[in-house]
């Protein structure tokens, strides 16, 4: 899929992995819709990148709001790329130290945003792509989801987050198979420890401690390294139905 001239929908696009993705895709000639709840950060990114970018204040688990963002993308050109970076985390064990159960509402919320939100955007963006003209290879678009190494190496206290990200991994292959007849590819990236704004708030010694289990290179990953993998998936038409770990060979310990 050519990036030049395409329109991309990027959830969580106002910061972190999503922001890096927006910057890279726009730098390669795409237009982009930032799908996010952080209006101030989105507007700052638009001010930096110019008219190629617009903002849709959107809850990814809300079908009507996602449809509105897709309509904004269609108004900019042909939607070819959707990247799901929006997500939330929560730290809590299956039972608490006093034996009480994990808060079920919190568990549901993490699943709602990370898994249901990803599927909501995937399904609706793919539906819009299916109505476009294919390229010479019959391809109409590509959807890239974001899981986590926690889908495979979930740590103590990550029960909700790991479940949600394992769901994203699990939907990747069946979605790719479902969407093959309309020429839409689906892949997922499972990042390890990435140097996002959240981790940037930690002191240097804590950041170094997090990086100690990374095999090589022995550091946190950068958001642009995530964005480079997005670019590689978009431009390589034979990548489909797969989840790619982006983690420096990290395997997370229990805690």
Phi, psi dihedral angles at 101 (to 5 degrees): -80, 155
Alpha-carbon span 231 to 239, nearest angstrom: 12
Catalytic residue among 107, 161, 226, 238: 161
Structure-token pair, residue 15: 């910061």
Contacts of 11 (CB under 8 A, 6+ apart): 18, 35, 36, 58, 60, 82, 83, 84, 85, 86, 117, 121
Residue 85's nearest CA partner among 1, 183, 162, 196 is 196
Contact 15, 39 (CB under 8 A): no
Contact 22, 48 (CB under 8 A): no
Alpha-carbon span 19 to 6, nearest angstrom: 17
End-to-end CA distance of the chain, in Å? 40
The alpha carbon dihedral of 152, 89, 227, 225 has a sign of negative
Tell me whether residue 226 is one of the annotated catalytic residues.
no
Is the preceding omega at residue 81 within 30 degrees of 0, hence cis? no
Q: Which residues are catalytic?
A: 161
């Amino acid at each position: 899929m050519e990036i030049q001239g395409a329109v991309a929908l990027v959830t969580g696009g106002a910061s972190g992995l999503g922001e890096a993705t927006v910057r890279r895709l726009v730098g390669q000639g795409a237009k982009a819709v930032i799908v996010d709840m952080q209006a101030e950060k989105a507007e700052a990114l638009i001010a930096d990148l110019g008219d190629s970018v617009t903002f849709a204040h959107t809850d990814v688990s809300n079908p009507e709001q996602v449809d509105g963002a897709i309509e904004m993308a269609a108004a900019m050109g042909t939607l070819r790329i959707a990247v799901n970076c929006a997500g939330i985390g929560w730290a809590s064990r299956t039972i608490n130290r006093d034996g009480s159960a994990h808060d079920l509402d919190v568990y549901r919320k993490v699943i709602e945003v990370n898994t249901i939100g990803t599927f909501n955007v995937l399904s609706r963006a793919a539906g819009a792509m299916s109505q476009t003209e294919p390229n010479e290879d019959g391809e109409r678009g590509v959807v890239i989801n974001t899981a986590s190494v926690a889908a495979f190496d979930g740590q103590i206290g990550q029960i909700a987050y790991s479940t949600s990200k394992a769901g994203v991994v699990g939907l990747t292959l069946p979605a790719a198979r479902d969407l093959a007849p309309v020429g839409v590819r689906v892949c997922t990236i499972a990042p390890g420890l990435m140097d996002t704004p959240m981790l940037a708030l930690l002191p240097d010694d804590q950041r170094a401690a997090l990086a100690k289990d990374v095999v090589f290179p022995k550091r946190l990953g950068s958001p642009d390294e995530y964005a480079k993998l997005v670019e590689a998936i978009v431009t390589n038409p034979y990548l489909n139905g797969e989840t790619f770990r982006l983690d420096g060979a990290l395997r997370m310990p229990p805690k």
